[in-house]
Amino acid sequence: MAEAGTHVFRVVLQDQPAIYRDIEIDSAKSLAKLAEAIVRAFDFEFDHAFGFYPDTKGRAVLRGRPAYELFADMGEATGTQSVRKTPIANAFPEIGHAMVFLFDYGDEWLFRVELMGRDVKVAKTRYPRVLAKAGPSPVQYPDPDDEEEDEDDA
């Protein structure tokens, strides 16, 4: 494994392939650090529970295994693995491997996370880092008044 290097991911907002971020992160860091990098790359507040699940379609995503959840780190018996103790290199062992990242179980922000490549660490470079951005970041907490106005206009 390339644990002494970096993993390069393409993170796509589900159902919106034109909105993505390419993120490079230290391969030895935890899935929790990857989650934080994803959330920050999309200009969200890192203020909710999250998990990584097999790349499946529809609502079945939460039942897939292996799965990694913050709840496992909180001592809940979920049948999932730790996001704080699992290195990125273990969860994403080969190029092309993809998982679904679910952030905020209430609003259900879903992102497809695919390992696009590996690289070597560059001296004096801060990781994680965003290598590319496409599309605007969605609004994490839309103003409910704006939604009501949109309905009234219809």
Residue 102 contacts residue 110 (beta carbons within 8 Å): yes
Q: What residues pair up with 51 in beta bridges, in sequence order?
A: 69, 102
Beta strands in 29-108 (DSSP E): 50-54, 68-69, 81-82, 98-103
Query: According to the CATH classification, is domain 5-153 in 3.10.290.30?
Result: yes
Question: Average pLDDT by consecutive 10-residue portion of the chain (154 residues)?
Answer: 78 93 97 96 93 73 70 74 92 94 90 95 92 93 66 51
Of 23, 20, 43, nearest to 31 by C-alpha is 23
Q: What confidence tens digit (pLDDT) does each residue in 15-42 have?
A: 899 999 999 999 999 999 999 999 999 9
Domain boundaries in the chain? 5-153
Chain segment 3-21, per-residue pLDDT in tens: 479 999 999 998 899 999 9
